[in-house]
Structures are given as structure tokens and as C-alpha cells.
Amino acid sequence: MRQALHRITIATRGRGLVAVGEPICAWTEAQGIATGLLTIWCRHTSASLLVQENADPDVRADLEAFFERLVPEGDFYRHDSEGADDMPAHIRAALTQTQLSIPVEGGRPLLGIWQGIYLFEHRRAPHRRELALHLLGD
Amino acid sequence: MRQALHRITIATRGRGLVAVGEPICAWTEAQGIATGLLTIWCRHTSASLLVQENADPDVRADLEAFFERLVPEGDFYRHDSEGADDMPAHIRAALTQTQLSIPVEGGRPLLGIWQGIYLFEHRRAPHRRELALHLLGD
Amino acid sequence: MRQALHRITIATRGRGLVAVGEPICAWTEAQGIATGLLTIWCRHTSASLLVQENADPDVRADLEAFFERLVPEGDFYRHDSEGADDMPAHIRAALTQTQLSIPVEGGRPLLGIWQGIYLFEHRRAPHRRELALHLLGD
């Protein structure tokens, strides 16, 4: 049994979902670990992780619209020194995932056929986001 | 230290919570691993995992009613080719869990006394759902 | 590769966020495991875990206010025998996290610079809450 640790940086274009499955799966497969557990950790509090359907781009648009309605910008937040989009970003991150751990089989994360892994950028401005990847197995 | 990987299939009856703790704990105990980490991965984007009170069935009814209010069906979704319940299902999955990792002690997941593990079916029609189970320990 | 299992008890003062990163990181560092995976499991269904900004206390106040608006107390819940705050507590727990798994590097959880770990107490009364900690690595 052995483990590997890695970090990847993702450039976002502002609010919205960015597919990150490809670099994550490529790194996982390159470790030569057939069976194990892959953990993805998002090192931010205004961006998060999401597993969603990878087929129809409308799913991503509907998700973003839902979170706009659920957590609107407005003058009812105390924490606003970094901009009107900052506190809603923290709340959206709290409602989604900071971490995912996926069983690995045959060297690949055991995602369902329709499952894609996304980084959900919650700020309006583009950011560079760091994900820590941890793989354990044999 | 060793690991085990398994898949179980759960038949759902349409929207609602299905208790899945029993087959998951039974498989875990059968692996003969005293101390470790159990990971459950739901391989779908319109069903998810939830830890909830296992005592009063009213808790499940209230939870389902809350999600009906929070993520109603309606004509404000673009993604509707698979039915009016499909996009709300993806959003409900995003708001709950795709994965749980539970420490194992004495061969059993270290659940609190009132904690039950549920599969949350978000589609109206019955489905067959697959959970991947990964156990690591000694 | 080896593992360690531990439990810590956190006293809460009623509804709100309690910083728990310090005792969790202290225990992790004391295990002498340089690289690995730390899992935190909250053994309750009316308290949960949250990763949030650790700098501005207003973030916590805004988060609490948001959840008050999103999941208000009211007479529309069936499950009310334990008080009006009980069912909202279960729903808030469902919308946040019961578990976090964090990669460990240099003996410490790989948190981002602004990330703090919080126990989110959802009941009005003070409680004693138990977290199970599992560390695996070498």
C-alpha cells in the first residue's frame, strides 16, 4: 500500500462551473495504483467542488441560475468589504462540497457514466484555484 | 493494512429516502477489518447520500417536503428533456452528498446512535442505483 | 503505513459556529504521520461540519443569518416533539457536511490559508458534540 500527494491549479473565468475531471483522472492513472481511494480537497472558501451531469451544458446553466436565486447578492450581508459577491460566494461554498473521496478501480476513479467533477467558482472575477489530490492504494 | 472494494445496487420507489445502512454495515463487518475507513460513493447525479435521524419517520417526511419547497419543479429550467423532475433532481443532489467516508472501529462504521445512512432518490420514477463501497484498514 | 483513531468532545453554546481546527490539528500533528489522510466525522444529525473563512467573524454571523432565513422554525414540520428548533436542525445538517477528509502534508492538514474548520451547532440549547478523527498515512 502506498500513497501520492499532488496539487493542481485551475484558472477560472469567474462565476460558474469548470470541468476538472480530466487533469484529476490523468494524474490518478499516472500513479500506477490499481485499487485505492482518491481524495480531492479544494483549498478555498469561495470556490467548491460539485459532481454533476457531464452531458448537457444546460444542466450547468440551470445550476448556476438556481444558486443565483437561492443566494442573491444584496445589502443584507455584514461581510462586504471584498465586494457584493464575496459573502454569497462563502454561502454557496457551504452548500456544496469542499472535498470528494472517490474509490479507484483499475487505476481510475469509479465515477458513474454521467458523473463529471466540477470546480464551482463563486466569485465574479477570474481566479486561480488550487486543488490538493491525495491517492492511497496498491 | 489492506482494502476491499464492492458495489451494491439499491432499488428505489421514486422520490424519497431509502435506508441503506444495513447492507453497507453488513458488508463492512464481513471484511474482518477492525479499524479503518469506509467510503460510500453514489454513482449518480439525480440521487445522493444523506445522514439523518433513524428514529422518527416524520423526519424523512419533513426533509422531503423541505426539498420540494426549496427546489420546486417548474418551467424555469432549460434542461427538461428527461422530464420536469430531472433538473430539480440534479440540484437536490448538488445540495446533499455524493460521498461519505466513515471511520471504522471494532469492525463497524462509527455512526452516532441516532445516525442512519440514506440513499435520497430525487426522481419520481423508481430506479436502480449503484453505490461503490471502499474499505481500508487492518 | 499506519492509522490512528480518536474522539474529541466539543461543548457548544447553542446555535452557531464553533472553531474546532485547533484541537483537530494538534491531535493530527501529535501522531507523527507526515503524509496521509485525516477524516473528521460528526456523530450527530442536528450538528454538522463546515469549512469557512477564518478571518472575519462577520462571515459566521452572515452564514448563521442565511440559514435562519433558508430553514426557519415554523408550524409546518411534523417532527416537533423535541422542540421547534429540532427539525430545522436536521435540515441544516443535511445541507452542510457530516464528514470532511483532508490530505495531510508535513504532519498537518493541507487547509488553505483562509480555511477554518467549524462545528455548526443547529440546536438552540448548548450541547456536547462528539467528533471521530481518523488518520491514515506514514
- Burial of A26 by CB count in 10 Å (0-12 exposed, 13-18 middle, 19+ buried)? exposed
ipTM of the complex: 0.97
**Domain boundaries, position B37:** 2-137
For C77-115, write each residue's pLDDT tens digit: 999 989 999 999 999 999 999 999 999 999 999 999 999
Query: What kind and span of H or E run contains A41?
Result: strand A36-42
Using a CB-CB cut-off of 8 Å, the residues of chain B touching C45 are 51-53, 112, 114-115
Q: Which of B50, B100, B105 sits opposite C94 (nearest CB)?
A: B50
Measured CB to CB, residues of chain C less than 8 Å from chain A are: 1, 35-37, 50-53, 56, 58-59, 61-63, 65-66, 70, 95-97, 100-103, 105, 110-115, 136-138
Query: Which residues of chain B are under the pLDDT cut of 70?
Result: none
Query: What kind and span of H or E run contains A117?
Result: strand A115-121
Q: Is the pLDDT of residue C123 over 90?
A: yes
Q: What's the mean per-residue pLDDT of chain C?
A: 97
Q: Is the pLDDT of residue C48 over 90?
A: yes
Number of separate domains in chain A: 1
- Burial of A29 by CB count in 10 Å (0-12 exposed, 13-18 middle, 19+ buried)? middle
Which residue is associated with the grid cell 461503490?
B132
- Say how far apart CA A5 and CA A132 lie, in whole Å: 7
For A96-114, write each residue's pLDDT tens digit: 999 999 999 999 999 999 9
Using a CB-CB cut-off of 8 Å, the residues of chain C touching B113 are 43
Measuring CA to CA, how many Å separate C53 from each of A135, B10, B92?
Answer: 26, 38, 25
- Say how far apart CA A128 and CA A122 lie, in whole Å: 12
Looking at residue C26, which CATH number applies to its domain?
A: 2.60.120.460
How does DSSP classify residue B94?
H
The sheet that has B115-121: what strands, in order across it?
B16-19, B115-121, B47-53
- Say how far apart CA B108 and CA C80 lie, in whole Å: 31
Can you give the pLDDT at residue B131?
Answer: 98
Query: Which amino acid, A105?
Result: E
Q: Model confidence at A86, in pLDDT bands (50, 70, 90)?
A: very high
Nearest residue in B to C2, CA atom: B1
Using a CB-CB cut-off of 8 Å, the residues of chain A touching C137 are 3
- Say how far apart CA A97 and CA C118 lie, in whole Å: 14
Check C134 against B103: CB less than 8 A apart. Answer: yes
